[in-house]
């Protein structure tokens, strides 16, 4: 599943998410695109978490990216 996150993270000029809307892969792809725009450290691993959230691991930190019920970006929070 992490592949979809890195696919989005490495996407340069992708106009549309290639995955089925609201699927776990769609959510991971979107999270990857948004995480790349934030300019934080390079991710090592990403997993779909509870509800509409994605847990992202970097070398030094752990992040959680949340989406609302309509799958709009809600926020990015550093956990450690």
Name which residue leads in pLDDT, 80 or 79.
79
Residue 1: the pLDDT is: 61
Instruction: Give the Cα separation of 33 and 67 in Å (integer).
Output: 13
pLDDT digits (tens, 9 = 90+) for 14-73: 778 889 988 999 999 999 999 999 877 899 999 999 999 999 999 999 999 999 999 999
Q: Measure the CA dihedral 72/75/24/61, to 10°.
A: 160
Per-domain residue ranges for the chain? 2-78
């Amino acid at each position: 599943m992490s592949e979809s996150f890195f696919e989005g993270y490495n996407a340069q000029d992708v106009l549309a998410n290639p995955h089925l809307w609201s699927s776990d892969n769609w959510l991971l792809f979107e999270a990857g695109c948004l995480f790349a725009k934030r300019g934080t450290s390079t991710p090592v691993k990403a997993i779909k978490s509870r509800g509409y959230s994605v847990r992202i691991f970097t070398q030094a930190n752990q992040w959680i990216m949340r989406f609302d019920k309509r799958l709009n970006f809600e926020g990015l929070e550093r956990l450690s």
